[in-house]
């Protein structure tokens, strides 16, 4: 019986890349690049920054998709396009929305000006309730939550404070290592 807990697999907050919500998009991209360079090749690269507020409390995750979406601010006018696919709307309908709202017309034009002007606060999204897990929760519970929520990571809490992050890539690596110990014939 596996008794691993979330805290056994998570990356502690002290070891994860963070950024202030008052930082610019440009600063966020540079911070993410710096974390890539600082990590040895054996570990999985960080794909997000944890965002802290003026009280040094983690209030959001800023991932690659958030950064790309920041280059097309009109996405906020449309809402959650992913929800439309869940209701049966297909690719042609989504292309029509993209055309009608003039989305993704020129996301790279004036990228430098926008990157210096856009703040992390304006593009971050507060995590949903299903993006949190207690550090004392079983790893089985973490696997279940990652599988059903389809998030790439979960914020790990000790009481009301975020103390780390549980990444899908680390959970996968743990599962892989457990499977390799199985005595199954080829």
For 56, the token pair is 């040094």
**Which of 178, 182, 162, 160 has its CA nearest to residue 170?**
178
- pLDDT of 100 reads 61
- In the chain, which residues have pLDDT < 70? 1, 39-46, 73-91, 93-109, 185-186
- pLDDT of 63 reads 86
- pLDDT of 119 reads 92
Mean pLDDT of the chain: 82
- pLDDT of 183 reads 81
147 within 8 A of 175, measured Cβ to Cβ: no
Q: pTM value?
A: 0.76
- pLDDT of 4 reads 93
- pLDDT of 32 reads 85
- pLDDT of 103 reads 52
- pLDDT of 39 reads 66
> What is the tens place of the pLDDT at every residue in 142-155?
999 999 988 889 99
- What domains are there in the chain, each with its CATH number? 6-71+107-180 (3.10.580.10), 74-106 (no CATH)
> What is the tens place of the pLDDT at every residue in 57-80?
999 999 888 888 887 765 555 555
- pLDDT of 43 reads 59
Q: What sign does the CA torsion over 105, 23, 10, 149 have?
A: negative
- pLDDT of 164 reads 95
CA distance readout (Å), 133 to 52, 57, 128: 18, 16, 11
């Amino acid at each position: 019986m596996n008794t691993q807990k979330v805290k056994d697999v998570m990356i502690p907050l002290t070891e994860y890349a963070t950024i202030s919500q008052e930082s610019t998009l440009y600063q966020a991209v540079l911070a993410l690049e710096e974390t890539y360079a600082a990590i040895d090749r054996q570990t999985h690269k960080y794909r997000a920054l944890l965002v802290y507020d003026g009280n040094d409390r983690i209030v959001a995750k800023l991932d690659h998709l958030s950064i790309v979406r920041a280059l097309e601010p009109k996405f906020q006018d449309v809402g959650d396009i992913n929800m439309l696919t869940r209701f049966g709307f297909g690719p042609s309908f989504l292309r029509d929305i993209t055309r009608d709202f003039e989305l993704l017309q020129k996301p790279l034009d004036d990228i430098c000006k926008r990157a210096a002007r856009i703040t992390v606060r304006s593009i971050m999204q507060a995590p949903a309730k299903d993006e949190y897990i207690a550090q004392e929760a079983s790893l089985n519970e973490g696997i279940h939550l990652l599988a059903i929520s389809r998030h790439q990571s979960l914020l790990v809490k000790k009481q009301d404070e975020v103390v780390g992050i549980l990444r899908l890539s680390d959970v996968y690596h743990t599962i892989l290592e457990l499977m390799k110990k199985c005595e199954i014939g080829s």
